[in-house]
Chain A
Amino acid sequence: MSDKNYLTTDYTLRSWFLTTDHKRIAILYFASLIFFFFIGGAAATAIRIELATPQADLVSSDVYNRLFTMHGIIMVWFFLIPSIPNTLGNFVVPLMIGARDLAFPRLNLMSWYIFMLGGCITLFAILAGGVDTGWTFYTPFSTLYSNSYVIVAAAGIFIAGFSSILTGLNFIVTIHRLRAPGLTWYRLPLFLWSLYATSVILVLATPVLAITLLLMATERFFGVGIFDPRIGGDPLLFQHLFWFYSHPAVYIMILPGMGVINELVSCFSRKQVFGYKFVAWCSLAIAAVGFLVWGHHMFVSGQSLIASLVFSFMSFIVAVPSAIKVFNWTATLHKGSIHFDAPMLYALAFIGLFTIGGLTGLFLACLAYDVHATDTYFVVAHFHYIMVGGMVTAYFGGLHYWWPKITGRLYSEYWARTAAVLIFFGFNLTFFPQFILGAEGMPRRYHVYPPEFQVWNVLSSGGAAILAVAYLMPLFYLGYSAFFGRRAPANPWNAPGLEWQTSSPPPEFNFASQPVVTRAPYQYNEHFQAEPQNA
């Protein structure tokens, strides 16, 4: 067997940009997402600096509006939605099921090009003048009153949507068709269950977003009365369509994160995830019920009280499977043998932050309190706890977990743990004060605010400074390790998953011989040693 791996098979640019190897495409996505993450993060930094004082000292209101719009658009569509599925998912899905590649390798490459095309168009809109509608594009502001690059930005998102759909299809077919012999559904790692549920949402919900953006463009260009009440349209129709995509999109963002946490909690407590089947089906339950809750964004819009009642009820229901997952992760720790490596620190941080985010989600699902809290900083804090505290933390955890597999190198455990702890504290200092701001009534998207809110804003901005440093740290120590780190063994965590049965980094076609699976996932024996997957 040659010692060539997927990184060393060929060094030309052509071999990277025309590759159909899922691992190399994951690296392409990875590089693009770092880029988008730092653009979105730079906007967030500017926002937090501006909000340190109640006056407008740093930027004008138009610039501020463009900053938070850019932060939202970039982070949602060009970081959070593709992050775990397209980088970690792309890399490990075939490895975890013992396949040579995804079902449609060329389609996978095309998805990346489509994604980059969409990203460039949206970036162009931002550079050319910016968009000031907020990432939600509410009509009639976006169709009639905003004189910014709304349609260009929407076109970018529209195009990027095709990338999501194609990736989702690719994962669904791959997981159905390419599993190794013996790898039944109940032997699948839970990460794959969650990616499967995510893919179903991607395929079903993204077209609705595309239609919504098309309708918006139609109205802007031709003045057709779809959303504009002056010509017979209905502004709330836009909200219904938009949230019919965008609420499930929240689960696109969090489900893969939950999937990663299953892998981490199990590996570092050296036990099978408690209630494997429950957790697996919870992913699908969240995906299904997630389609029925969109109206909770409109409790104060004047929709019928009965509609609000139904959507509130469904929103409480969708919280049940999420709660089950949290309980199951905690139960997994019981009588385990817990190792506090960096990925595990991220996983524990995730459980805490996700639980706070989830519980405050109940406040917003609760009709009468939502009337007060909606469109305030309470909402901002809540969804940042889910998306940043949850998704980004899980992403970092997963990245550290699979880093030795991806690069074949080990990183500095000391710096990795320091960054994890710093992220946890910086994050809480940034976003917890925003709950208080929201409960006291500070509306979101405010560029200047009454002075009594300043104390909490200063704390939040201070936390953001810590968070910014903490998010930059992995760039350095992981970057260093990629070139100078110690060589990683095939299975540094002593985990039983199939992806650890091949060398690090994996060879071009993943496995020297077709693996055969004979037992359930996460098999650790009574001495907390991984039992080999291969019989």
Chain B
Amino acid sequence: MWRQWIPFWRPGLSPHSGDVDLLFAGLLIASALVLALLFFLLVLFCARYRAGNQIDRDHRVKKSWHWEVSWTAASFVCFLGLFVWGASVYFQIYRTPADDNDVFVVAKQWMWKTQHPGGQSEIDALHIPVKRPVRLVMASQDVIHSFFIPALRLKHDVVPGRYQDLEIEVDKPGHYHLFCAEYCGTDHSGMIGEIVAMEPADFSNWLTQQAPSSPLASEGGQLFRELGCSGCHGGGGTIRAPPLEGVYGKPVPLSDGTTVIADDKYIRDSILMPRSQVVASYQPLMPSFEGKVSEDQLLRLVIYIKSLAGHPS
């Protein structure tokens, strides 16, 4: 690749980062041209028209609107082009990811905790297979963090109180920096880890070697019973609550007449703020679990409910 021959340039390693690199090169070339023109004119004028230099200064440009209008229009058109280019790549980067290959990320002061659906969990590291898009579901337990992988030209803030989706994909096996880019307190600069991209075969070996105690979904199921959720949401309870089987990813009619898709965010919100979006024809009886479950536990509950999707009762 031609980009490897530019000094100090480490090419991006994902399908989108090639586009970002190209955009960067475009911006650089445009800026270099403008700067070169400007500096050329500055030096030229300063040398030619220095005081005391005997040179023709007559026929000074009379106040002309042509110059003004033309360079205003030229800058505007250039800027418009860069805007459209940048925006189109941005929409590709942040397009809504597919949710078949999830990894869960919890950010807290000052570490990244990542969890695979099989239950394998890591601190300040994330193993992923190459050439396969992985959807990250990210949550923060305390302050705002930002998940930043320079090699992928990719970054997303992790804001407490909501889930953030991000799709990542790496082309080449290797170890890459994972930084926290949003200032988060004392050890902000220590909140770094690595992305380990592996060949798919190595990755499945790694997954099995990690020997998880139990998959996240079953931990979530256990939690579901311990917290008493099953008393109402399970069949045969005295209180009528909406059944959760098969609900994930489906539209849910709400009591205010609107409809919402039961995604990660909706399920999380329903656990923490159950009375804000009540399912149609049910009473707002559920208590809030705000402060009673950690982000880790919330993730497990969401994954459990997602795992119920396959077994509609």
Name A residues whose Cβ lies closer than 8 Å to a Cβ of B. Answer: 61-62, 65, 132, 134, 136, 138, 140-141, 144-146, 229-230, 232-236, 269-271, 274-275, 278, 299-302, 305, 308-309, 312-313, 316-317, 319-320, 323-324, 326-328, 330-331, 333-340, 348, 351-352, 355-356, 359-360, 362-363, 365-372, 374-376, 436, 439-441, 443-450, 528
Contact = CB atoms under 8 A, between A and B. Distances in A.
B238 to A, nearest CB: 30
Given A319-B79, A333-B49, A375-B155, A324 B89 contact: no
10 contacts: A61-B190, A301-B157, A316-B82, A319-B75, A331-B67, A355-B38, A367-B89, A371-B90, A375-B182, A443-B179
Contacts of A436: 8
Contacts of B35: 355-356, 359
Contact of B86 (A317, A333, A367): A367
Say what secondary structure dominates the interface of chain A: helix
Contacts of B156: 300, 302
Given A234-B161, A275-B63, A338-B46, 11 more contacts: A65-B185, A132-B185, A136-B183, A334-B60, A362-B31, A362-B82, A367-B89, A368-B87, A436-B8, A443-B181, A444-B181
Given A141-B184, A338-B51, A443-B179, A302 B159 contact: yes
Contact of A333 (B46, B109, B155, B164): B46
A335 B60 contact: yes
Contacts of A439: 24
B146 interface: yes
Contacts of B190: 61, 448
B3 interface: no
Contacts of A367: 86-87, 89-90
B137 interface: no
B51 A230 contact: no
Nearest to B158: A302
A312 B85 CA distance: 11
A328 B34 CA distance: 14
A275 B68 CA distance: 7
B43 to A, nearest CB: 10
B142 interface: yes
Interface string B28-51: 000100110011011001100111
Given A324-B68, A375-B148, A305 B90 contact: yes
A372 B22 CA distance: 13
Contacts of B83: 312-313, 316, 365-366
Interface of B: 8, 10, 19-20, 23-24, 27, 31, 34-35, 38-39, 41-42, 45-46, 49-51, 57, 60-61, 63, 67-68, 71-72, 75-76, 79-80, 82-83, 85-94, 109, 142-144, 146, 148, 150-151, 153-157, 159-162, 164, 177, 179-190, 192, 273, 290-291
B51 A369 contact: no
A144 B71 CA distance: 50
A363 B27 contact: yes
A236 B86 contact: no
A435 to B, nearest CB: 10
B75 A324 contact: yes
B293 to A, nearest CB: 12
Most buried by B among A317, A446, A448: A446
B23 A366 contact: yes
Nearest to B164: A302
Contacts of B19: 368
Given A352-B42, A374-B155, A138 B86 contact: no
B46 A348 contact: yes
Given A324-B71, A348-B42, A443 B20 contact: no
Contacts of B157: 300-302
A352 B67 CA distance: 21
Contacts of A302: 156-157, 159, 162, 164
A316 B81 CA distance: 10
Given A235-B159, A362-B27, A366-B86, A61 B187 contact: yes
B164 to A, nearest CB: 5
Contacts of B154: 371-372
Contacts, number: 238
Contacts of A450: 177, 192
Contacts of B93: 368, 371
Nearest to B80: A316
A308 B185 contact: no
A330 B45 contact: yes
Contact of B144 (A141, A271, A299, A328): A141
Given A302-B156, A352-B42, A371-B90, A140 B142 contact: yes
Given A302-B164, A360-B31, A140 B90 contact: no
B50 A340 contact: yes
Contacts of A316: 79-80, 82-83
Contact of B49 (A326, A337, A371): A337
- A-B complex: 10 closest residue pairs judged by Cβ atoms: A229-B161, A441-B150, A366-B86, A368-B89, A367-B90, A333-B45, A446-B189, A375-B181, A316-B79, A359-B31
B143 A140 contact: yes
Contacts of A62: 186
Contacts of B150: 372, 376, 440-441
A145 B42 contact: no
A523 to B, nearest CB: 14
A324 B50 contact: no
Nearest to A69: B183
A67 B269 CA distance: 39
A449 B94 CA distance: 28
A369 B181 contact: no
Contact of B179 (A230, A328, A360, A441): A441
B113 to A, nearest CB: 18
A366 B144 contact: no
A447 B273 CA distance: 38
A368 B83 CA distance: 10
A351 B80 CA distance: 24
A337 B38 contact: no
Contact of B41 (A320, A330, A362): A330
A263 to B, nearest CB: 18
A500 B19 CA distance: 56
B148 A443 contact: yes
A234 B184 CA distance: 17
Contacts of B155: 300, 371-372, 374-375
Contacts of B8: 436, 440
A348 B182 CA distance: 36
Contact of A372 (B85, B153, B188): B153
Contacts of A300: 146, 155-157
Given A302-B164, A362-B27, A362-B82, A138 B159 contact: no
A141 B185 contact: yes
B75 A369 contact: no
Contact of B68 (A278, A363, A368): A278
B160 to A, nearest CB: 5
B179 A334 contact: no
A339 B86 contact: no
Contacts of B31: 359-360, 362-363
Contacts of A337: 49-51, 57
